[in-house]
Structure 1
Amino acid sequence: MNADKTAATDLPTLFDPETCVRKGLCPVSSIRNKGDPFEKHSLYFEQHGNGPEKIIFIMGSFAWAGQVEYFGRIPRYSVLVFDNRGVGNSSAPRGPYTTSGMAEDTITLLNYVGWTEHRDLHVVAVSLGGMIGQELAYRIPERIISLTLAVTTAGGKPWNNFPPNEDKIPMIHDMVFPREWLDAKAEDDPQGRTNREVQSEIYRKRMDVTRPQTFMGTISQMAAGLTHYMSPDRLRRISKSVPKVLILTGDEDHLVRPSNSIHLKQHMPEAELVEWERTGHGIHVQWKKRFNDLLERVFEEGRQRVEDFAPEL
């Protein structure tokens, strides 16, 4: 058993143990060797599947249950999910945080697990994760095949982060999903429950297997969202230097309005913009199969473009 598995043996996988090939704690601050005890922190991560094509999902581990379940079982893929600093099973160092600092965390994790090759990585990022994904793509565009930025912004909007409290569940769901969808019968649910009932159970399970978010983690992550800004020049640089970029939004997103995705597209002319109707902020949960199918198309188009891609830097 490798060292990172040993360090996290007391942390159960959030997903199917049969697909989990590696999990642990990446000692971010030790690798950077800063020597500041207040900045000491580690990132909890899991790898599912061991295929040659690599996907990193950015926005906390548990958020990606529908994607890990699907892509983690396809032999061609390796899936990497992790908890950002300040949430889940990762530590909460002194804040405030920035999206640029969280992107540096992500690069440290990628290097730690050995995902360092040229044009070898699909990045899928949602909401605050999308802000981190922008910073990541600006730093290591040569390592990325495709970049998916869903329900996110180039900056200027606050990120509302709620503590894992049972009483907050209805409020959270009403903010990230359309009410019509929440009240509808869940697709393929053997118990005939509504989407609201299914999502409430999923959230309760999350609370059982992850640590409660600390006050420091909560306010520091909010600070990262509030201070995030990606200038038009930097957006254009990303758009020109990554073979395939997708911008995805929903028309009923009340947390990060669709106009933010339109702004991204205006300054990322090479990117593809997709907007789904009757869709809220929890886009990859509300339309799990549709989202996964779209990712497969994006991955394929990215692969096709890599060979002849000549970035304009």
Structure 2
Amino acid sequence: MTFQPLDEIIRSPAFPTAIWQLEPHQSGLLPVAAGRGGPLNISWEVHGDGPVKLVLIGGIGLTKTDWQSQTLYFGHERGRRYSVLVFDNRGAGASGKPLLRYSTSEMARDLLELLDHLGWTAPRQVHVSGGSLGGMIAQELAVLAPDRIASLNLHSTAARLENAAGSSLAEVADRLGALLPRPAEAAIRATARGCFPEAWLAAADGEELPRRGTPRCAVAAAGGYGGGDGAGELRFGSNYARFAAREAQIPRDRGGLALQAVAGAFHCKTPAQLRALADRVGRARIAVLHGAADRMIPVAHGRRLAALLRPAAAVFEDGLGHAPIHQRPRWFNEFLEARCEAAEKLSGR
């Protein structure tokens, strides 16, 4: 496909509105990992103040802002029901970026310290959703604290990176290492090609925007969006243009990205470990979701993961790439909401 030049996208009237100003209910910097290569700060936000606790774990280079469609849906539009935690993993965003070898288990320990700090410590209290590297971290969190997990939702991820669909381990790891490297035009285009089907990138901007009056949403309150009500709604020319506008405004630390890529490349959960994890968390609480069009982590990885976990829900979606949180946010959010609500009804809480 032919990509619209980034300088044209930046000049668009819609460009300043690509990042939504969603005011958190709580936020902070938490020192973690003392004695584990730290201390280092983890930057975090909680949106919403509802009783259902949801934590979103991002992939390589992702920051709190990347989850804005989920933060809006759960923490603002449904903030009386949900409290949603978004945070920057070590190596990303406003969190610390220590120069040492990262591992998914150490990153899960960072998150566990954050959950302890928030007091999200009760049995079966935390609903966990992780994608790509975040799904690997979620697996490690489930090993560390299985009894605290109300639901475990893994998307676009793997138990380990291995040969699948004609891709060698080195090729898959290289794709992960290239994911979202920095807000430069060539990198944005490469990331777009890797994460999304071309037909979706070329299609008209279909983002579901914040509505006027959305709680704690400054952009919506200022009238920057109409959210479908015909009052000042701003659109890009394509889904790619919206994605590029967002990427151009989110800083990515290249060194931190490389260290996170190492963690993803060396992540490994054996069949025995996954079976034990599923036994302790409970298969009725687990879901696996993978796009059949995922070029970063081919769908065979998701199928292997599901075969070992035997989760309550295993969805392999045609036409879906590596980033369902951007490509099909409403569909993804409703899927995650259904999994959370089903788990809330289970006994043993």
TM-score (norm. length: structure 1): 0.86
Secondary structure of the residue aligned to 1:240 is helix
Aligned to 1:117: 122
The residue correspondences of 1:281-292 to structure 2 (distance < 5 A) are 281-292=322-333
Q: Aligned AA for 1:66?
A: S
Q: Tell me the CA shift for residue 233 of structure 1.
A: 1.1
Q: Tell me the CA shift for residue 119 of structure 1.
A: 0.8
Aligned to 1:5: none
Residues 182, 254 of structure 2: 8 Å contact kept? no
Aligned to 1:53: 52
Q: 1:213 to 1:22 in 2, by over 3 A?
A: same
For 1:202 and 1:17, the matched residues in 2 are separated by: 15
Find the partner of 1:232 among 271, 289, 313: 271
Identity %: 33
Q: Aligned AA for 2:193?
A: D
Residues 91, 259 of structure 2: 8 Å contact kept? yes
Q: Aligned AA for 1:291?
A: F
Aligned length: 284
Q: What root-mean-square deviation, in Å, do the aligned CA atoms of Structure 1 and Structure 2 show?
A: 1.8
Q: Aligned AA for 1:166?
A: A
Q: 1:237 to 1:85 in 2, by over 3 A?
A: same
The residue correspondences of 1:63-142 to structure 2 (distance < 5 A) are 63-73=66-76, 74=78, 75-142=80-147
Aligned to 2:253: 213
Secondary structure of the residue aligned to 2:98 is coil
For 1:300 and 1:40, the matched residues in 2 are separated by: 36
Find the partner of 1:165 among 177, 183, 187: 183
Find the partner of 1:21 among 12, 19, 25: 25
Q: 1:192 to 1:86 in 2, by over 3 A?
A: closer
Q: Give the gaps of 5 or more residues in structure 2.
A: 1-18, 162-168, 209-232
Matched, 1:255 2:300: no
Secondary structure of the residue aligned to 1:230 is coil
Structure 1's consecutive aligned runs of 4 or more residues displaced over 6 angstroms after TM superposition are none
For 1:90 and 1:214, the matched residues in 2 are separated by: 14
Q: Tell me the CA shift for residue 94 of structure 1.
A: 2.2
Q: Aligned AA for 1:300?
A: E
For 1:264 and 1:43, the matched residues in 2 are separated by: 29
Q: Give the gaps of 5 or more residues in structure 1.
A: 1-13
Secondary structure of the residue aligned to 1:47 is strand
Secondary structure of the residue aligned to 2:288 is strand
Deviations 1:178-226 (A, max 9, x none): 010000012267435210011111112223xxxx4042x1321111011
The residue correspondences of 1:143-182 to structure 2 (distance < 5 A) are 143-156=148-161, 157=169, 158=173, 159-160=176-177, 161-167=179-185, 168-182=187-201
Find the partner of 1:194 among 230, 233, 238: 238
For 1:206 and 1:192, the matched residues in 2 are separated by: 18
Q: Aligned AA for 1:241?
A: R
Deviations 1:243-285 (A, max 9, x none): 4111000011000010001111111124421011111001121
Q: Aligned AA for 2:315?
A: V
TM-score (norm. length: structure 2): 0.77
Q: 1:308 to 1:56 in 2, by over 3 A?
A: closer
Q: Tell me the CA shift for residue 163 of structure 1.
A: 2.5
For 1:213 and 1:69, the matched residues in 2 are separated by: 25
For 1:194 and 1:269, the matched residues in 2 are separated by: 38
* Higher normalized contact order (CA 8 Å, seq sep 6+, divided by chain length): 2
For 1:280 and 1:297, the matched residues in 2 are separated by: 21
Q: Aligned AA for 1:115?
A: W
Aligned to 2:203: 184
Q: Aligned AA for 2:41?
A: S
Residues 39, 94 of structure 1: 8 Å contact kept? no
